Chain A
Amino acid sequence: MRVALLTEGGYPFARGEGTAWCDRLVRGLDHHDFDVYALIRSSGTEAGGRVDLPPQVRRVRAERLWGEPPAAALTPIRGGGRAARRARRAEFLWHYGEFAAALAGGAALPPAPRAERFAAGLYGLARVAAEGGGLPELLRGPDAVAVLESACRAPGVRPLVADIVVTELLTVAGTLERQLRPLSAPWYGPADLAAADLCHALSGGPATLPGLLAKRFSGTPLIVTEYAVRAREALLALRTAQLPPSARALLGAYHRLLAAESYRQAALITSGSTHVTRWQLRCGARPERIRTIHPGFDPGRFAGMGGAQAGGAEARRVGVAGAGDVEAGAVAPSASEAGAVATGTALVRAAGASASSEAGVAGVGAANANASEARAARSGVAAVGGTPVRAARASAPEAGATGADTATADAAARGAGMLADSAGRPVLVWVGRPDPGKDLAALLHAFLMVRARRPGVRLRVCHLRTGDPRAVAYLGHCRALADRLFPAEEAGGSVGFEEIGSPGGPDLAGAYAGGDVVVLSSGAEGFPLTLVEAMFCGRPTVATDVGAVREVVGATGLVVPPRDPRALADAVLALLAAPDRAARLGAAARERALALFTVESWVAAFREGYAAVAARQPLPSRIAPLPPTRRPPSLPATGERGRTRTRTAERARPPAAGALTAGGARP
């Protein structure tokens, strides 16, 4: 099948947004041919170069949405005299008038006719570009500004827009010219988009424009995939750019109407989380065409860490090999510790691997524990999209271990030794990109409360490397706050800031491995990658209830309200006080992540979606990965509603609340 991938500001450019997951998807769908049609949002994206493309990507065509329009698009197609020129200009003015009227909206234009006029104008402009050429020149000419003005001053348009002034008109006209450049792209010939079996837009908004035209002109079906709501991002960007209100109203309407049109035309809309779905529905997407497909991640680099915790370990060594290999966490428990259990969990991705070889691989990790017996237990098989994902656990109980042969007992034993770092103190870990939205201040304040009730706990803030000056400034601010909150600390301190991947700093897997509880304190969040990674590592998590956090952790982590350090502290203390519960949650989280967020299930979902859309068959009712077949231990087997209740109950009064020393009234 020949698939046209439509991107904007991302794949195949290394510095683009979401390039990593696009790359994983393309590599996963290796039996299709891909043509990539990329829209470039800024000069920086191009300067970063392209990623290595797999052979199934046949070609890449790129068009800029910044700077001057390409010369080829500027020159009108020859073959017309003055009369043809006039006719083309009149046609342009008519279609741009429809388009501008839809943007201006107003009392006289209810939603349905507004969307109709938007679509009519948009496709009309595309036809002008295809038949006469020179559309960018017309879009940025004085005629376009005049049309825009008369649309804004039309009766019934709300005063905010009707009061638009000349500078704002120019801003809007200039921005629209850049946004509409895909209409002039030389992509719609019979050898290009028209030859594709389907168009797959990897984000909403401008990336869908070529797909809309291909659908209109050659009937190519369209799939729209959104892991972030492009229209919402555009609204926020307009606000951040401090554009004047009337310009924001018009351009915001453009992004919304474009989203609505793309949802209307798409045969399949995939959404990364319920948060995205909510916006899609609000923008007019029909629920029967929306399918939730959670993003897939490669758990390879976290494999072997699922159970890599050992009681009273003096030293923790976590060996992580290159991604793709089967990895094992090597654990060295002290010989004096009775009842210590070393476990190594390996995710075996080779379909043909036998159970004994799995056990053998895992046994390497547990070699130091005098493994007398390796027992491989299939703890969960999630058969998703035909590719079984097998999590095999091999436990090697030391002599003297009693009854450590059920998963629950394993977990409990691990949990008994959970509270340990190199100095024997429990460690909280935060991992992520420094950004004001992450609300590290709330985390530090919560940690202050944790320390007040349970001294000796450490916090590691493991941040990713960043070159963004805003992020660097925020990090400095957080360090200053930490110094202020925890002033008289011994060397090393209770709060450590570490950069992942820096010399002497941990790598990503090591960062998770070094913590007993992973905390996410964000005030706002899209799809929380940190949580997924922590879940792959089998860490218990405490997270704030923002973005897609709830649907990611499900019932396998504690969720607290955002911007509430006390609730965060309570939840962390509850986990620290009940190590076996924490271990149970960690194990359940890993199972959940392996069932929901692997590349295999993700790619399979898209493969199924492609097949249904290309064959123009009705969509399968569910192409999202199935939930785990086996309930995690000790969690009530309930439906979605019941699970919500469980979480709410946990949040309201943590089961371990009795162990806490002081309650303290919540604000």
Chain B
Amino acid sequence: MRSVGRAGGESVLPEGQGAPALRRQAAGDPVRQMMRAHGELLAGAVDEWEIAAGLEARGVTDGDARRLRQPDVFGLAAELLARAPRTVARLDGGPNRTERALLPRRTGLRHALPGAAAAVFPALRSPVLGAGLAVFVAVTAWAALRKGPLAVPRGGGAPWAYALLAYALYGPQAVTALSGRGPFDPAAQVPSFAALTLGLVPAACWAHWLAVRSRAQLAPSHSLADYADAVRPRLAVALAGHAAALAALLALLTPGGPLAGPAALGLLLFAARLLSGHGEPLPALAALRGAALAETCTLAVAPLGLPLPGTAPEALACGAAFLFLLPPTFRALSRPAPHHP
């Protein structure tokens, strides 16, 4: 088996030694002459088929091959392949495109819009305005998720995600009211919901950063295992970064309020979105469905008066679902595919 010099177009022959020797011999040897005439073709060729096609495209005929004592162009191509110094050069993939890891400003604004609207929600006193704003938040959130780094090719379990968000908004209050430990206050969870909605911005930022960093790892990776090794820590950074951002937003907008429940929900939605975006919607769907069903169960058992604080079920359900999603997420995102590397 012939070994092939692949690095940076280096010739097998040492520079300055091989070339003049080749030139001296070429004067007498017609095959050498032909090798020189088609040096560029031979240097990059991968097999005799490619050389034969290339020679014919340059007008070399069977007649020319017979003059060189070969039966035809195919024979000549095989002979040239055997005799040519192999300099198969790896192309560097053209100019190295560097992508900005920062989210484009316009995309960032699109993702900030629903969160900003939700943040002014508590200031509104009129129910009509409140309803309008709710619709506005829903529409802008849908628009933000349709395109951009958090987009998914096909339905990513939207109904279950809506159920989880509805529980984040009213669930804890409903549990409190159903278990008879207090009145139902529909506005109580709005600040934490606003923080969650604002969390779209860090989610988009981290998803974009992860996609750009992962793509940048494609070229330097030799094998798929190399690529996976390079992507896994970056995914961990993205998840941890999003968790920190969510915690900061919650601490800012709901000082002293519950942290674990909304943060776990935000992380679960983030991971599910990443996974669906990488063509694995089924585990994401299963996790979202499981969390939503678990939360519904807490509503069902609330009248029994179990000693649970309002946000604990959410933290438990979403946290467990997130943990369930972690292995498939790491597996899926560390394997490149042609249409979503």
Contact = CB atoms under 8 A, between A and B. Distances in A.
B93 A167 contact: yes
B55 to A, nearest CB: 10
Interface string A223-257: 00000000010011011001011101100100010
A166 B61 contact: no
Given A160-B46, A170-B341, A244-B90, A278 B72 contact: yes
B78 to A, nearest CB: 11
- Which secondary structure characterizes the binding site on chain A? helix
Contact of B279 (A141, A158, A245): A141
A563 interface: yes
A239 B1 contact: no
Contact of A137 (B227, B279, B335): B279
A524 B57 contact: yes
Nearest to A442: B59
Interface residues of A, number: 49
B4 to A, nearest CB: 5
Contacts of B157: none
Interface in B198-234: 218-219, 221-224, 226-227
Nearest to A523: B59
A165 B341 CA distance: 14
B63 interface: yes
B282 to A, nearest CB: 8
- Give the one of A149, A235, A236, A256 with max B CB within 10 A: A235
Interface in A97-113: 107
A140 interface: yes
B336 A232 contact: no
Interface in A143-176: 144-146, 149, 153, 158-160, 163, 165-167, 169-171, 173-174
A545 interface: yes
A245 B58 contact: no
Contact of B47 (A242, A249, A562): A249
Contacts of A48: none
B221 A160 contact: no
B44 interface: yes
- How many B residues touch the partner, as a band? 35 or more
A503 B120 CA distance: 70
Contacts of B79: none
B279 A239 contact: no
Contacts of B4: 159-160, 163
Given A524-B58, A524-B59, A248 B224 contact: no
Contacts of A107: 1
Given A149-B224, A167-B219, A244 B338 contact: no
Interface string A318-346: 00000000000000000000000000000
Interface string B87-102: 0101101000000000
A177 interface: yes
A317 interface: no
Interface string B51-63: 0011011110111
Contacts of B335: 142, 145-146
Nearest to B219: A167
B84 to A, nearest CB: 14
A166 B93 contact: no
Interface in A276-327: 278, 282
A546 interface: yes
B24 interface: no
Contact of B222 (A158, A166, A239): A166
A142 B332 contact: yes
A166 B46 contact: no
A408 to B, nearest CB: 32
A252 B337 contact: no
Interface string B314-341: 0000000000000000001001111101
A437 interface: yes
A10 B4 CA distance: 39
Given A140-B339, A174-B338, A145 B50 contact: no
Given A170-B341, A244-B91, A239 B58 contact: no
Contacts of A239: 44, 50, 53-54
B53 A232 contact: yes
Contacts of B93: 167, 244
A141 B1 contact: no
A245 B88 CA distance: 7
A159 B1 contact: yes
Given A149-B224, A165-B222, A242 B338 contact: no
Given A159-B1, A165-B221, A232-B56, A170 B338 contact: yes
B50 A235 contact: yes
B337 A170 contact: yes
A649 to B, nearest CB: 15
Residue among A144, A282, A522 facing the most chain B CB atoms (10 A cut-off): A282
Contacts of A177: 338
A546 B337 contact: no
A172 to B, nearest CB: 9
B17 interface: no
B83 interface: no
A522 B88 CA distance: 30
Contact of A546 (B59, B221, B226, B227): B59
B6 interface: yes
Interface in A537-555: 544-546
A562 B58 CA distance: 10
A174 B339 contact: yes
Contacts of A561: 63
Contacts of B1: 107, 158-159
27 contacts: A141-B337, A145-B335, A146-B224, A158-B2, A159-B1, A160-B4, A163-B6, A165-B222, A166-B218, A166-B226, A166-B227, A170-B338, A174-B338, A236-B53, A236-B54, A238-B50, A239-B53, A242-B91, A244-B90, A245-B46, A245-B88, A246-B46, A248-B46, A278-B62, A523-B58, A524-B58, A561-B63
Interface of A: 107, 137, 140-142, 144-146, 149, 153, 158-160, 163, 165-167, 169-171, 173-174, 177, 232, 235-236, 238-239, 242, 244-246, 248-249, 252, 256, 278, 282, 437, 439, 522-524, 544-546, 561-563
The 9 A-B pairs with the shortest beta carbon distances in the complex, nearest first, are: A174-B338, A142-B335, A523-B59, A249-B46, A235-B53, A562-B59, A166-B221, A142-B337, A232-B53
Given A158-B2, A248-B46, 5 more contacts: A144-B337, A145-B336, A166-B222, A238-B50, A252-B47
